[in-house]
Structure 1
Amino acid sequence: MSEIVYRPFREADAADLKQIINDAFHIYRYVTGELLLDAAVELYLRERLLASSWTRVAVRDGHVVGVIMGQVAGQPFLGGRGKNRLIAGKKVFRASIAGLSQWNSISQYFAFGPIYRKLRKKARSPITDELTLFAVRSTMRGFGVGTQLYSDYVEHLRSLGRTDFYLYTDSFCSFGFYDKQGMTRASSEGLNLVLDRGSHRETLGVYLYAGTVD
């Protein structure tokens, strides 16, 4: 395998990250329509960038194969916030126009926000620093990329004297990784989704995991 380089996010990484996000989080399963799906994935990325103060990507042969982002209380947010807000705003507008005939897809995408708020209220664990985005390209799983990115994030927290953190995930994702890292499922909720172009319904498990720097 060629060398994997770990470095902070650059704007040129956005196209690779959108592909990874769509694949890792299965957004294509509950947001239908090409324009609407592109808007949803772009909006997701920009929201994560706006919510983060630290990033790390894994790069192999010039392409991003993994990413992790986090927000640490008291640390300045990432630069480029004006640009990210502008892109996010354009995507919301585009989604609203494209989605007039696809309201179900739009409502399903935005249903996660209220679910996350419910998870925070139910959690008994500290809600402090957030791991805002973590995904690895499917073809690179099992090669230690995710483990290295996760370790880098924990080390970043440790260097700042932080002790605990949390993240959101769901049953579409490889949440077993967090169990193996010793994180605790602090709360959970079910979200009923229409999937695969309306071919069936499924209750998605949405989880809040809590971890410690130890």
Structure 2
Amino acid sequence: MTDITYRPYQERDATDVKSMINEAFHIHRYMRTNRPLDSALEFYLRDRLLASTYARVALMDGRVVGVVMGRVPGTPRLPHVTRNRLLTWFHLARIVVTGFFDLRSLAQFFTFDAIYRRLRRATSAPLTDELTLFAVDASTRGSGVGTTLYQDYMRHLRHHDRTDFYLYTDSLCSYGFYEKRGMTRTASEDMRLRLDGDVEDLGVFLYAGRVPEASG
């Protein structure tokens, strides 16, 4: 198998990371036209970068095949804050303008933030450090890329003497990965989502966990 290497996120990784975001979170299934979809992916990436203080990627043959981002309050934010904020505002405006003719998709895209706020209010788990983005390319699933990136973030949290963390996910994603690592679903909410033209029930979850002690 081709060697997989790991390093901090760089701006040149944006295209590959957006592709993984689209695949992992099925954004193309409810943002059905290209222009709103392109801006939705850009908005999502920039929003995650602004929310994070840590970002690392996995590369295979020069292509990014995995990404993890997280936030540890009190540590420096990722570089290019001003640029990312401007791009977030630009693509948010573009989503609103170009998505006006598909109001259902537009409404679905923005519903998630409202649900996340309700989940935060519904849980008693400590909401300290967040795993803000975690995605692995389908071609490398089962190769250990996701496990390595996840463990790298756990080491980062231990380095900062952190003990608790949390994340959001949903029933379209591989949430079993987190349960196998001891995370607990502490809040959930169901929503109706139109995917590929059909209405489906989607579970939106908040998981919380403890940072594992270092092995050995």
Indicate the TM-score class for this superposition, using the shorter chain for normalisation.
Answer: over 0.9
State the match for 1:50 in structure 2. 50
For 2:18 and 2:94, how far apart are their aligned partners in 1?
17
Letter in 1 for 2:89: G
1:148-199 Cα shifts (integer Å, max 9, x gaps)? 0000000100011000100000001000100111100011001111110x2x
How many positions carry a matched residue from both structures? 212
TM-score of the superposed pair, with normalisation by structure 1: 0.97
> Which residue number corresponds to residue 201 of structure 1?
199
Q: Which residue of 2 aligns with 1:25?
A: 25
Q: Shift of the alpha carbon at 1:31?
A: 1.2
In the alignment, the residues of structure 1 paired with residue 9 and residue 153 of structure 2 have an alpha-carbon distance, to the nearest angstrom, of: 14
Query: Residues of 1 paired with 2:81 and 2:47: CA distance?
Result: 10
Percent pairwise identity: 55
Q: TM-score, normalised by structure 2?
A: 0.97
Q: CA deviation at 1:208?
A: 0.3
Question: Which residue number in structure 2 is paired with residue 8 of structure 1?
Answer: 8
Aligned partner of residue 125 in structure 1, secondary structure: coil
Question: What is the correspondence of 1:7-156 to structure 2 with a 5 Å cutoff?
Answer: 7-156=7-156
The residue matched to 1:174 in structure 2 has which SS?
Answer: coil
**Between 140-149 and 87-96, the greater mean CA deviation after superposition:** 87-96
SS in 1 for 2:68: strand
CA-atom RMSD in angstroms: 0.7
Hey, what's the Cα distance between the residues in 1 that align with 2:158 and 2:115? 29
Partner residue, 1:168: 168
Aligned match of 2:208 = 210
Counterpart code for 2:161: G
Residue 90 (structure 1) shift: 1.3
Runs of at least 4 residues of structure 1 off by over 2 A? none
CA distance in 2, matches of 1:182, 1:31: 33
Partner SS, residue 31 of structure 2: coil
Residue 2 of structure 1 aligns to a residue whose secondary structure is: coil
Distance in 1 (alpha carbons) for counterparts of 2:26 and 2:6: 25
TM superposition shift of 1:93? 1.6
Tell me, in whole angstroms, the C-alpha distance in 2 between the residues paired with 1:191 and 1:35.
25
The Cα of 1:206 is off from its aligned counterpart by 0.3
TM-aligned CA deviation for residue 97 of structure 1:
1.6
1:87, distance to aligned residue in structure 2 (A): 1.1
SS in 1 for 2:104: helix
Question: Which residue identity is paired with 2:201?
Answer: T
Which letter does structure 2 place at the counterpart of 1:157?
A: L
Q: Secondary structure at the match of 1:68?
A: strand
Give 1:125 shift.
1.0
Output the CA distance in 1 between the equivalents of 2:200 and 2:47.
Answer: 26
Match of 2:158 in 1: 158
1:8 Cα shift?
Answer: 0.5
